[in-house]
Amino acid sequence: MADAGVVEELLRRVERADGGVDSLDVASGLGEEHQLIVGAVKSLQALGDVISAELRSSKHWALTEEGAEIAEQGSHEARVFRSVPSEGLAQAELMKLSFGKIGFSKAMSNKWIRLDKAHEGGPRIFRTVESIEDQVREKLLLVQTGSSSELEEKEKNELKKRKLLSEVSYWKGSSFSTTITKQEAELTPEMVASGSWREKKFKPYNFEAMGVAPDCGHLHPLLKVRTQFRQIFLEMGFTEMPTNNFIESSFWNFDSLFQPQQHPARDQHDTFFLADPALAHEFPQDYLDRVKRVHSEGGYGSQGYKYDWRIEEAQKNILRTHTTAVSARMLYKLAQQEKFTPVKYFSIDRVFRNETLDATHLAEFHQIEGVVADYGLTLGDLMGVLHQFFTKLGITKLRFKPAYNPYTEPSMEVFSYHEGLKKWVEVGNSGVFRPEMLLPMGLPEDVSVIAWGLSLERPTMIKYGINNIRELVGHKVNLQMVYDSPICRLDS
């Protein structure tokens, strides 16, 4: 509330005056700023019908809230001029400022600035004069200091049209009193019991007021985008694989995928190894023997890698480096059925790699993977499924580039045309699983398995305009960002 002494003096003056009092006269009489008197009036109005007030157009003028701001900081057009450096400023950047839109049009009218629409980096604003005189602010300062008589009526009307000037006069209200009594906000049981409610004054109940928003949890942007991807897979008839085992043996993570034990990805530079328990001991023995044979001796039409395959390497426990380890387990389980049935699997979960941390890499991230197993699948089927999948993501321009993966042949990198960057960018990897991976599992020879994968973080960062992955995941995440982030809708 405004200063109590000012409020009481204002009430006394209103009581003595039959035709109301003028806010400027009160301010002048008390030696206070006019805005302080306006604040006292608003405090009294908040209490109910203590006083009445109306805006008047007469000889006396006062600054509005916006006018007071301009008197302190300068007009919108002057602030725009000051914001434009000598090398110019992008129009889009200027429009982000609170005073940008109004100030731009006024500064253009005053010919203080010019707009270069053909600039290489987009529309850019440049100064056309070296210095300016902020006449709007000077006029408002005259009014603020009580010298409005020095302004012509035309100048005052101009300022009024811009809603920078107004005047207020005040009268007694139906509940006028020269003393201020605090209004009660609620009726208590004690008031009812004692009967004191009869002497109390209550604030009017506002049925239009918004209630207090209940406290609730908020989904992280990654979870929102994950939900959209999951829905797309389900719409395409895929079944979700169980991915709750972050710890995996090197056998399922590497060996079962026909990835040799001397492969660089199996070094400590790329993989996190567990110290306790360091080794896994339970494997399907027949399947393990077949995997060992195809690695060291070859088979199923392959000559293998011709090296001494060691069980000690396959036993090492690690944090899984990809969810393809889960796909391998599910395909082995499928092969144990009496009769093969075509399947479509997907998974979205965390994987772990010993990466150097930077703006686009973390030691843990999410991998999205799709797998289809059926008779006679070809590279054309893989391209068709990828077109259908990415179309549902709103990505229609695709290109495929031959690539190498240890466990797929042929293999393809998937590229999409990025309209913003005006170039082709990689959006995923794909391929047909090799016979050396599938046949030791026991799958029929005429069954092919196509698969593809991509990360969850990259599309999330693009969707929410995040440039540094550490602002999306980890201890640097701003929780307010999680609270404010909008719902995710992928453009299909």
In 167-204, which positions are buried (b, 16+ CB within 10 angstroms) versus exposed (e)?
A: bbbbebbeeeeeeeeeeeeeeeeebeeeeeeeeeeeee
Question: 491 in a domain, yes or no?
Answer: no
Indicate if 79 and 59 belong to the same structural domain. Answer: no
Return the closest-CA partner of residue 476 out of 359, 301, 324: 359
In the predicted model, is pLDDT for residue 474 greater than 80?
Answer: no
Q: Express each pLDDT in 226-273 by its tens digit.
A: 888 899 899 989 999 998 889 999 999 999 999 888 887 777 668 888
Domain co-membership, 362 together with 229 = yes
Amino acid letter, 193 = A
Instruction: Let me know whether 302 and 449 are in one domain.
Output: yes
CATH number at residue 308: 3.30.930.10
Number of domains in the chain: 3
Give the pLDDT confidence score for residue 182 in this predicted structure.
66
Confidence of residue 1 (pLDDT cuts 50, 70, 90): very low
Q: Is 162 exposed, middle or buried (0-12, 13-18, 19+ CB in 10 A)?
A: middle
Instruction: Give the span between the Cα atoms of 450 and 430, in whole angstroms.
Output: 8
Choice between 113 and 213, residue whose per-residue pLDDT is larger = 113
pLDDT band at 485 (very low <50, low <70, confident <90, very high): low
Sole residue written with tokens 């290489």? 120
Contact 427, 416 (CB under 8 A): yes
Q: What residue spans of 236-375 are helical by DSSP H?
A: 250-253, 285-296, 311-315, 324-335
Count of residues in the chain: 492
**Whether residues 104 and 238 fall in one domain:** no
Average pLDDT over residues 433-447: 91
Residue 102, token pair as written in the block? 């109004």
CATH code of the domain in which 49 resides = 3.30.1370.240
Interval 289-308 mean pLDDT: 89
pLDDT at 58: 47
Q: Is residue 426 in some structural domain? A: yes
What per-residue confidence (pLDDT) applies to 37?
Answer: 77
**Which structural domain range is residue 136 located in?**
64-162
Q: Is residue 492 part of a domain?
A: no
Whether 216 maps to a domain, the answer reads: no
Q: For 51-107, write each residue's pLDDT tens digit.
A: 777 665 445 677 888 888 888 888 888 888 888 888 888 888 888 888 888 888 888
Question: Same domain for 418 and 308?
Answer: yes
pLDDT confidence of 450, banded at 50, 70, 90? very high
Q: Cα dihedral sign for 184, 187, 190, 196?
A: positive
- The reply to whether 127 and 175 lie within a common domain is no
